[in-house]
Structure 1
């Protein structure tokens, strides 16, 4: 017999190893992550702490599953693994899954009798794309398993070392979930008078996020879930095992079903989600209109003060009479049911009179914010096609040309006052249109969301049942009326005999003014978007706001830290977190915040009366408790749709398959949420490219569409970044046209003529090309963070020199968190926005000890222009003594921002900024 050449066996093993490694390289993504929905935030370093839960499947179900595998020529391992992957897919929405499994490592007959540990680990990657049936998925899993077993000889440790995945202490490499089937027969161990049974020990540890261990026993199939206690509560794993058992029963009954249609919810849980946890059925009037409920209150308290604006007030009777006169005038101009009336007004008595008069006339109001660019107002007027346009004379120049009849409600009141003062006969009904509020649209134009009287009445009557507003209450109206929160601010207090106080135009952005107004008018109820609440809570002497009884938050996610801060700084006031899109009648869920509550985020709560919340997967199936899905709104408060946009209405307002009401629809919000075990809802994020910034809903596609129209822009992508916690801002990335590099100031100016301030990006980043993924899609995560300190709009850097310039620059650096600020760097080009301007305003007032209007920060947006303005202002207002005090305050502030050195870097002769 010829012997092999020396070393040939070793070389053969090396070649085999290289071949196997090459095969695994082609099939595994070293950085793929399976993120199961967890109960706790994933720690930066996952501990080995774990626990186990066990469930026993009935023998009949086990036998049915084995028979299914035999008919298909597949093993029980393949059947159970395929079902487990369906469950993981339904939990995560991921279609590309990697699950680990151990293998005995005795693939050769000569190894069977050897003593030793030969176990290896395989990473099984399966695609669940294309909506396969379960039978088809079994085939995919079978092929994956056969191929992996044929390449089992490469040790898992070598595979990890070769693929070099990004090492994280928070995740195990290559896979995070394992599946094990133990089906080797183990005869019982017996001794005289003693029968022994194998039991899996409870070690209190785990190696992975989740391991499912299936063991064949004579009495059926035992399932053991071993899980990380860093991530999961025991109740979550109990539900997971119940979902897996329900799924296996559905597979046994019909393996031909698409995996997306297989049942995973036990019937009791399904009933809880679709019925028990929805808004309570409540018998509110179904034939009432908004203005009729206010008219009823007028009859009850005609002489009570209804409305206050600065030094002006109107009683309920006076407000009603003036609104009646304007309503009769609107009727004479052709306004009736379904007529739209445009309102281009600043906050004032005339605004409230006009809103109420429009409804009394039978029409629907359309708010037109006079701060919007003319082009945007033009689009809104074109879509709304109002019959009449109500305006204050001073705002006429801001309106684009249009065909509606214009009525000046201030200078033209002499004509209006000749109309009758009694209530005009009702024309509109509960199903008539009440208002159209425009929101951002992905096509480059805003879209008008329509709501009828009945849904809004339901919302306001629920609010009264929940919060019990009384005649002694005072509600502050400060939200721009182009934002749907203003609907309850205006109408709820007037329905209940409370007093409505109007903030001055622009006052909603000035926390010092708001605190003084709350104190002066004894305000009990007001609303904040969370970003503005954060600024307000930084205001000193909030004790003067002791009249506050309830603070309502909505418009964007409420951080836990901000909730806690509010409850600490305003301990005498309730804090409520509400949620709802413009396409519904204001808010649809509510949550009462609690002190020292252990939460990962503040819930948006439960559905309001007569409203249903569905959280569904991509196939419109309810998701289990704890699993994220898209939030849909059903019931009374669903809006009518979008004005003049039937295609978009059909896309977003879809038939409600879960409702017993004929023709019921539900609104697809695009928000991702999940049910918490107590029935509250946790907001997770967005499913699309829509974002919320400072309470405003923004379609990134609208900004991209408009920016792409600039002649110097070839490609563009806009994202919302939060590079610093709590500082979310819009950033535009663009590829310039050949031989053109547009300046940030030019692009900003271009957008400011078309978009409101909150939709103009803080930064513009020019790239040679946009980063793309292998399939050609934009790789948003690869977009670089903007260099805000370098956004000088093309101006050469010039360091601040005077004391006032250094003071302003130092404050800007602190607030904007940029490296340097030059004399001619525009505040907004450095990443500023209206909320950051509020912080600058407060600090400048403190440092200067002088009056400073917030609008001056917008009028004088550079250090140079603002310093010049402040110096001239001081020169005309200060006495010598006051001037010396302010100079000392400036020097103290300068010492603080320069690190206590007593002088700035530029005073040392350095050209760097303060």
Structure 2
């Protein structure tokens, strides 16, 4: 018909397709191994896809009961699979049609094949049988309007074009079920021989052919998947084939099961994801920070625990000083679960105060003194500490807020450590181990150890309460960071950043020395001087700072044996520079929100990570930590499929 004639067959079919494909996804989200290149190379590979006769028979019976064709069964199953792998609920799939629906071409030799787009709607909570009904309706509609050449359809619909992908659909499905032709040519023996496919027109091209025995009974399906090598590895394509067969088997067994009840994982994969990869239990029973530190101080009393410049404090001296401060805190009402705010510059004394709070049974609220006074006031008002420990340099500032004193009566007891009277009182306390005579109850593993305020997803600071059990899980075992007795660990993070949890306690419970950095933020030159002068072997640099150091002076961290980072996406090119420039340094990428005690995952960066693209893994869970990637219904997703990361275990904060 004339395309200009609105009453022509062509115009009517174009109008159908415009309505049918309105809002169709421009590109399906598929579980690719690599980012899509700007221009597709069309290099491809092929993997087999086979169904045995028994499953073929079950699918044929299902198709007969539901009044659909075998193609429609495969269309529905493939759409369900792609949806389960992150493609959404609107799945367009291409399909070839013979193009011989006119009797005039029956006796002609030629290629009349056209391509249709069959769209599958998986929204709501349909059963597989309901999806078959939706597919049937859409497929029959497509077949009734199959005369429009695909290239003409693309011109009419004018989708956003790209050299990176096929327009309107990226996945093709063909199910052949015509009888095998016998080719009898005089003087020739003709045999069909399968061959590997080296070109890919689509991201994925599924092609299967039904086979029947001499009695016409289903004898299985043979075929394969042609995949774009730009996007997929062969192993991924093989997994897709396995998953599709699993979906078909599940649907044949119970077609009335809701789609949400169709698990794309088989039993072995589910066990591997949920159990084997989360087998992180450790044999050691949980302990508190005072218990762990006390045991270390007893083993190495004369080893250096804290160092800053020429200042040294041994494990025995730190133990004694923290005992004195703990007794002073108890006299000010600190009891188990009490919160004690600490507003002090980074210093050895501050470390002693934090340890003392834990020995007294309390939980410390670390506050960076550089914070605006309004934020400090909000944190103190929200946490309601029984005491506030500070020094004279900040005590005056706390009283000069525009809104009045930080802690008006009644408020927390103010303990200004460098006040002569307080200094004398602390010095007069017994420095021996705390006992019940001191009204001290030893903290328990599930007791609060500290409260740290994050920025909060609502914009208001949010307090996170972490237990001793969480800290213990972070610092024992310390193999992921390769911390050994005699190591020197840098203490450079803001006290209000949970990185300090790692810095302080992984050093002091494992026999290392904590090198305490000067107050404030260090320049790269200052960082180089600090690390070199203290001979630091273990350091944590937030990702942004690490990138800056690598750009300005990568040799600033030379000599650091374990360099940990985290807090943002780690740049592969920066990792390359570290690996090339510092062969003696082990770079470790870490991940973990404050609510899970600093780190949940770590990963030692390797040559493989920096040569395969821009993504550096976050790694495996730490001891007593479990991690699951789940969909919106909290079901585990297959490997390679996007979901939300859920963490569980000893490290999860209260609430």
TM-score by length of 2: 0.91
Cα separation, 2, equivalents of 1:376 and 1:127: 50
SS in 1 for 2:375: helix
CA distance in 1, matches of 2:279, 2:373: 41
1:319-345 deviation digits (Å, cap 9, x = unpaired): 111111111111122212211111122
2:29 and 2:87 in contact (8 A); partners too: no
Paired residue for 1:530, among 543, 552, 567?
543
Secondary structure of the residue aligned to 2:235 is helix
Partner of 1:414: 424
Q: 1:94 to 1:334 in 2, by over 3 A?
A: same
Q: Is the 8 A contact 1:537 1:569 kept in 2?
A: no
For residues 543 and 18 of structure 1, what CA distance do their matches in structure 2 show? 70
Contact 1:188 1:196 in 2 (8 A): no
Aligned residue for 1:485?
499
Does 2:446 match 1:431? yes
Alpha carbons 1:215, 1:222 under 8 Å: kept? yes
Task: Give 1:503's aligned residue.
Answer: 517
Corresponding residue for 1:457? 472
Decide whether aligned partners of structure 1 residues 292 and 10 sit closer, same or farther in structure 2, where only a CA change above 3 A counts. Answer: closer
**1:465-484 → structure 2 map (5 Å cutoff):** 465-484=479-498
Cα distance, 1:91 vs structure 2: 0.9
Which residue is equivalent to 2:564? Answer: 552
RMSD over aligned Cα atoms: 2.3
Taking the TM superposition and a 5 Å limit, the aligned residue runs for 1:81-230 are 81-189=75-183, 198-218=192-212, 219-230=219-230
Q: Give the match for residue 633 of structure 1.
A: 647
Structure 1 residue matching 2:260: 3-state secondary structure:
coil
Q: Equivalent residue for 2:241?
A: 241
Q: Does 1:334 align with 2:346?
A: no
For residues 366-422 of structure 1, the C-alpha deviation after alignment (integer angstroms, 9 at most, x for no partner) is: 122222233332332233221111122222324763322221123232222222211
- Please state how far the C-alpha of 1:437 moved relative to its aligned partner: 1.5
2:340/2:365 contact within 8 Å kept: yes
Looking at structure 1, the residues matched to 618 and 60 of structure 2 have their Cα atoms a distance apart, in angstroms, of 45
Q: Secondary structure at 1:410's aligned position in 2?
A: coil
Give the drift of 1:467: 4.1
What corresponds to 1:254 in structure 2? 254
Secondary structure class of the residue paired with 2:341 = strand
Is the CA contact (8 Å cut-off) linking 2:624 and 2:650 kept in structure 1? yes
Match of 2:576 among 564, 567, 573: 564
Q: Is the 8 A contact 1:53 1:225 kept in 2?
A: yes
- Give the aligned partner of residue 18 of structure 1: 11
User: 3-state SS of the aligned residue for 1:367?
Assistant: strand
Rounded to whole Å, the distance in 2 between the matches of 1:357 and 1:342 is: 12
Q: Distance in 2 between matches of 1:538 and 1:444?
A: 32
Post-superposition CA distance 1:410-458 (Å, at most 9, x none): 3232222222211213431111111121222233312222221122212
Alignment partner, residue 354 of structure 1: 353
Aligned position for 1:515: 528
After superposition, the C-alpha distances for 1:432-490 in whole angstroms (9 at most, x for unaligned) are 11112122223331222222112221221122x34443333111101112121110101
Compute the displacement of 1:207 (Å).
Answer: 0.3
The residue that corresponds to 1:32 in the other structure is 26
Count of matched residue positions in the alignment of Structure 1 and Structure 2: 630
The separation in 1 between residues aligned to 2:149 and 2:186, in whole angstroms, is 43
The structural deviation recorded for 1:311 is: 3.9
Q: Secondary structure at the match of 2:509?
A: helix
> Who is 2:412 aligned against?
404
Following superposition, the deviation at residue 289 of structure 1 comes to 0.5
* Cα distance between partner residues in 2 of 1:203 and 1:221: 19
Helix, strand or coil at the partner of 2:595: coil
Residues 377 and 96 of structure 1: CA distance in aligned 2, closer, same or farther (over 3 Å)? farther
The Cα of 1:209 is off from its aligned counterpart by 0.4
Quick one: structure 1 residues 393 and 136, their matched pair in 2 at CA, closer, same or farther if it must change by over 3 Å? Answer: farther
Q: Distance in 2 between matches of 1:122 and 1:570?
A: 56
Contact 1:515 1:545 in 2 (8 A): yes
The two structures have a TM-score, normalised by structure 1, of 0.66
For residue 101 of structure 2, give the secondary structure of its aligned residue in structure 1: coil
2:82 is paired with a residue of what secondary structure?
helix
The unaligned stretches of length 5 or more in structure 1 are 1-7, 642-914
Matched with 1:277 is 277
Secondary structure in structure 2 of the residue aligned to 1:126: strand
**Contact between 1:552 and 1:578, CA under 8 Å: does it hold in 2?**
yes
> Aligned residue for 1:372?
371
Deviating more after overlay: 522-531 vs 99-108: 99-108
2:455 equivalent in structure 1 = 440
**Aligned-residue offset at 1:192:** 10
Check whether the contact 2:293–2:508 (CA below 8 A) recurs between aligned residues: yes
Aligned-residue offset at 1:67: 1.3
Cα shift at 1:81:
0.5
